[in-house]
Amino acid sequence: MALAQQSSPHARNARSTSQVMLWVILAALPGLLALTLFFGWGNLINVVWCIAVALAAEAAILKLRKRPVAFFLRDNTAAVTGLLLGLSLPQFAPWWVSAVAVIAAIVMAKQLYGGLGSNPFNPAMVGYALVLISFPVAMTTNWAQPGLLWESAPGFGDTLGMIASGQQTAVDAFTMATPLDEYKHKITTHTAAEVLAHPTFGDGVARGWEWVNAAFLVGGLVLVGLKIITWHIPVSMLAGLSLMSLAFGSNADLYAPLAMHLLAGGTMLGAFFIATDPVSAASSHQGKLIYGAGIGILIYLIRTWGAYPDAVAFSVLLMNFAVPFIDHYTPPRTYGHHKPRRGIPGKGQG
Amino acid sequence: MTQLWDFSGGIHPAENKHQSTSRPITGAGLPEVLVLPLQQHIGEPAEACVAVGDRVLKGQKIADVTGGMGVPVHAPTSGTIESVSLQPVPHPSGMSDWCITLKPDGKDEWAPLNPVTNYRDLDRETVLERIRDAGISGMGGAGFPTNIKLRPPRDRKVNTLILNGAECEPYITADDMSMRENAGEIIAGLRIMAWVLRPERVVIGIEDNKPEAISALRKAAEGTQTEIAVIPTKYPSGGEKQLIQILTGMEVPSGGIPADIGVMCQNVGTAIAVSAAIHRGEPLISRVTTVTGDAVTDPGNFEVLIGTSIDYLLAQAGPEQNKLHRLVLGGPMMGYTLETPAIPVVKTTNCVIAATATELPDPAPEQPCIRCSMCAEACPMELLPQQLFWYSKSGELDKVEHLNLFDCIECGACSYVCPSSIPLVQYYRAAKGEIRVQQAEQLKADRARERFEARQARLEREQQEKEQRRKERAKAAAEAQAKKQAEAEKAEAEGQPADDRAAKATLVQEALARKKAKAQQQAETKAGASETSASSEPTPDIDALEKQLAQATAKLNTMQSMLEDARAENADNVEKLERAVTKNHDRVKRAEEALAEARQSVAATDTQPTDS
């Protein structure tokens, strides 16, 4: 038998891209569980629907692009995109809103740019931003009111019915403005105490959301522990957001307090699962710190002075633009060199 | 406790070292034939100094490097030189090189040895020469001649001598077992090297996964100044640059050598060889090699004669041919696969892995890079492996170089962690090769351009010099002219004909007169010479000669009148005409002479009969 001829190294780590993605999916499950417990079946249904659409869209476009379908579907990246959208979209978002978001993410943001590894923008956030701008009503009025799954939320059948009906707005009785939205719009005319009396805030920071964020934080820490992501982007993003809040928004009667920024809305999901998408993020440690901090600062700016109550999608996309630039100017200092070689060869120091 | 530093990156691959440490080092025995490559070191290849058919003794020098850097090769046992020929040698390309084939006679008869009783009595150069003569080159991998390494440049004082006992690569246990069983000899060799270099600090770096070796070395180093530094197990801590960083906190400058920062690393096997060479006078003729992998039933370490074939070595460890899938020379991270086991063990062969398909499976198909940066996290040199990969793949070699490709030590950590199973190191090797080729071509082109430019410059210079000379001549001529004119003017003032043309004409006339005189002289000698021969010739035709003379005279007159005209007009062809006139003058002269001669001879002929 002929001996195998291979280039070194001969030993290889067993963890593949599909396993990495599988870990991301598993690490997001606590968050999905928390969402389901506090906001009903909506997210779970969305996640399943979005993953299904994502896989179908990926398969179709791979076929059109004459790429091996099974080989690429097995990398689980389309499933992660679907999952992230299912977790981010409003609980009662009509099925076609989700489908548009997912198809935009997979077909436009990912495959048309060359598929896995070639997309400059976070696909899930492209899809999210598209539907947020295109269908503002569906994207703002379909948030479930917080309440334990077995108490007040609509049952599985009702939720499925609302999503499948395709109505722009769900049954009013089940929905409620999100805490960030509520605070942003009421604080201009009310005091903090008056605003916080609204049931969306509950007894803690933001009813339900605090648990959802805590669950995503735990899942994210697992990913850091498994070395699937590094701490740089989440920490710098949370730090950027916190510093902005402390510097400009310490007056709760004018601006949402820091705790709300961290624990209401999509902050932890964004910090650990969305901003850390490796394909569209900066690559060096220093670059990741700048990238993450930029997202944190932009989130605060848009949430506080922009038109949208939450801003993870826009902030991530804006920083995606800056990634090539950041990468050029933040290479690490190589062993044995006095300083890093920044920039592009021939421009600046060679 | 020695202060330790950490190096960035690094990985923790499965160690797989226990398989080959369960039994002591055993002799591999005497194979049927030994194949000794002439180049087992960095530098010039050695040249055989024995002839085919010679009987050699164990330890006898059979090849040496006469010019340039290199070390000799010795006979590992006594026997007969069978051939000096091209044979496959250990190389990633599977190439062949010149080798001496030695047929052992089984007597294992030593050549006389020349041990040193106390090396401290010798001078350092002598010790270094002995190390060279023992054929010692670095046994860790590269095979750099040890005597040259031990003589760093004068301005590079070695303050720290490091013995590299890290042996960080999985599977390999040759150094580990040597340290366990041969700690005394290692310390002895290290002390010789320390005596040569006189460093301030001597330290043995050893990974904490080798407790037996650590305690053996501690015991052997008792009472010496040698530090035993136990370092955390992390690949590639045994990389020279990484070990230096761990033990000193310093970094070897890019493109430099450890001596630049006052550090030197030596290998465990090299220390043993140095000790054997000095204390026992034995040259380097064997080494410890690990034979391991799931395709051998009895893995372990062997004391192998240099030149033993891998095939023979595997046979000592119980090979299972049907399970053998991949044969790796070296470790699983940096070793290379062999196409055939029929190649010899050389001075740098530290490990042979006979791996099964499950043990070292074929790599999964390459997937797209997802920029996860796990490679950058693993890189011990703090490079950007994914950027290097893109630019290597797209052939943007300037960018690859800008990102310090040539600082890559090819440790394989990036490929190891890559979830997309991209063979990153392979891309870097290809890019490095391409850049080297380009640089060689560039160098060639530069030289050609330099040659061309030098030639152009030379031609131009010559042209200028020529021009310069011409100008000088012209100037001299003008000066002479001016002088003559001045004379002529002077003469005119004295009442002689004197316009420019007249002066010239007189000059020409004078020259003509000179030439005429000369020609006459020549003609006379010629005539004198021809006189004797002329007498035997038939009687010349006086009429014809007269005719010729008349013609020539007429022609001369025409020429002269033309010359006068030309002079009057100061035409270009004056010179030419002058020559023509001279020529015709000669012709007339010759014709006249010939006529005169003819007449004489006629007269002579006429008178002759009366005389007789």
pLDDT digits (tens, 9 = 90+) for B453-499: 999 999 999 999 999 999 999 999 999 999 988 888 888 777 655 45
Choice among A149-153, B22-26, B274-278, B595-599 with the minimum mean pLDDT:
A149-153
- Min Cα–Cα distance to chain B from A141, Å: 36
Higher pLDDT, B540 or A27: A27
Residues of A in contact with B259 (CB under 8 A): none
On the question of pLDDT at B196 being above 60, the answer is yes
Q: What is the DSSP letter of A173?
A: G
Residues of B in contact with A118 (CB under 8 A): 368
Tokens of B443: 């160098």
Name beta bridge partners: B542: none
Tokens of A221: 């820490």
Q: CB–CB of B256/B233 below 8 Å? A: no
pLDDT the model gives residue B1: 64
On the question of pLDDT at B611 being above 50, the answer is no
The correct CATH number of B18-355 out of 3.50.50.60, 3.40.630.30, 3.40.50.620, 3.40.50.11540 is 3.40.50.11540
Pairing mode, strands B55-56 and B79-88: antiparallel
pLDDT digits (tens, 9 = 90+) for A4-15: 888 889 988 878
Q: What is the mean pLDDT of residues B102-116?
A: 92
Q: CB–CB of B21/B210 below 8 Å? A: no
On the question of pLDDT at A152 being above 70, the answer is no
**pLDDT class of B64 with cuts at 50, 70, 90:** very high
**pLDDT class of A346 with cuts at 50, 70, 90:** low
CB nearest B426 (choices: A7, A11, A230): A7
Q: What is the mean pLDDT of residues B439-444?
A: 92
Average pLDDT, chain A: 90
pLDDT the model gives residue B496: 58
Sign of the C-alpha dihedral, residues B331, B333, B334, B338?
A: positive
Cα separation, A47 vs B429, whole angstroms = 44
pLDDT digits (tens, 9 = 90+) for A59-79: 999 999 999 999 899 899 999
To the question of whether residue B265 is assigned a binding role by annotation, the answer is: no
Please report the residues numbered 183 through 242 in chain A whose beta carbons come closer than 8 angstroms to any beta carbon of chain B. 227-228, 230
pLDDT the model gives residue B261: 93
- Collect contacts of B26-30 with beta carbons under 8 A, ≥24 apart: B26/B300, B26/B301, B26/B302, B26/B303, B26/B316, B27/B302, B27/B303, B28/B289, B28/B302, B28/B303, B28/B304, B28/B305, B28/B308, B28/B312, B28/B313, B28/B316, B29/B316, B30/B77, B30/B104, B30/B106, B30/B108, B30/B305
Instruction: List CB contacts of A318: < 8 A, sequence separation 6 or more.
Output: A294, A298
Tally Cβ neighbours within 10 Å of residue A56: 16
Select from B599, B601, B608 the least CA-distant residue to B531.
Answer: B601
Q: Sketch the domain layout of chain B as residue ranges.
A: 18-355, 374-436, 500-528+537-605
Higher pLDDT, A10 or A202: A10
CB nearest A345 (choices: B326, B370, B398): B398
Closest-approach residue (CA) in chain A for B171: A11
User: Which among A1, A5, A7 is the top mutation candidate for probing chain B, defined by the most B β-carbons within 10 Å of its own β-carbon?
Assistant: A7
**pLDDT class of B612 with cuts at 50, 70, 90:** very low
Residues of A in contact with B170 (CB under 8 A): 11
Mapped onto helix, strand or coil, the DSSP state of residue B442 is helix
Higher pLDDT, A13 or A113: A113
CB nearest B370 (choices: A11, A278, A341): A278
Choice among B70-79, B119-128, B580-589, B597-606 with the minimum mean pLDDT:
B597-606
On the question of pLDDT at B233 being above 90, the answer is yes
On the question of pLDDT at A233 being above 90, the answer is yes
pLDDT digits (tens, 9 = 90+) for B155-191: 888 999 999 999 999 999 999 999 999 999 999 999 9
CB nearest A12 (choices: B245, B251, B363): B363
Supply the DSSP string of B1-66, one letter for each residue. Answer: -------S--B------GGGSSS--EE----S-EEEES--SSSSPPEE-S-TT-EE-BT-EEEE--
Q: What is the mean pLDDT of residues B402-420?
A: 93
pLDDT the model gives residue B549: 83
Select from B326, B373, B256, B219 the least CA-distant residue to A286.
Answer: B373
State percent of chain B over pLDDT 70.
93
| A5 contacts B332? CB cut-off 8 A | no
Tokens of A22: 């599988």
Please report the residues numbered 318 through 347 in chain A whose beta carbons come closer than 8 angstroms to any beta carbon of chain B. 327, 331-337, 341, 344-346
CA distances from B231 to A32, B228, B246, B258 (A): 44, 9, 8, 19
On the question of pLDDT at A149 being above 90, the answer is no
Average pLDDT, chain B: 88
Q: What is the mean pLDDT of residues A174-178?
A: 82
pLDDT the model gives residue B519: 80
On the question of pLDDT at B141 being above 90, the answer is no
Residue with tokens 């309440």: A147
**pLDDT class of A58 with cuts at 50, 70, 90:** very high
Cα separation, A281 vs A324, whole angstroms = 9
- Min Cα–Cα distance to chain B from A320, Å: 13
pLDDT the model gives residue B534: 46
State percent of chain A over pLDDT 70.
97
Choice among A222-231, A240-249, A339-348 with the minimum mean pLDDT:
A339-348
Q: What is the DSSP letter of A190?
A: S
CB nearest B404 (choices: A228, A337, A344): A337
pLDDT the model gives residue B609: 47
Sign of the C-alpha dihedral, residues B563, B568, B570, B572?
A: negative
State percent of chain B over pLDDT 90.
65
On the question of pLDDT at A204 being above 80, the answer is no
Closest-approach residue (CA) in chain A for B94: A5
| A345 contacts B402? CB cut-off 8 A | yes
On the question of pLDDT at A266 being above 60, the answer is yes
Q: What is the mean pLDDT of residues B346-373?
A: 91
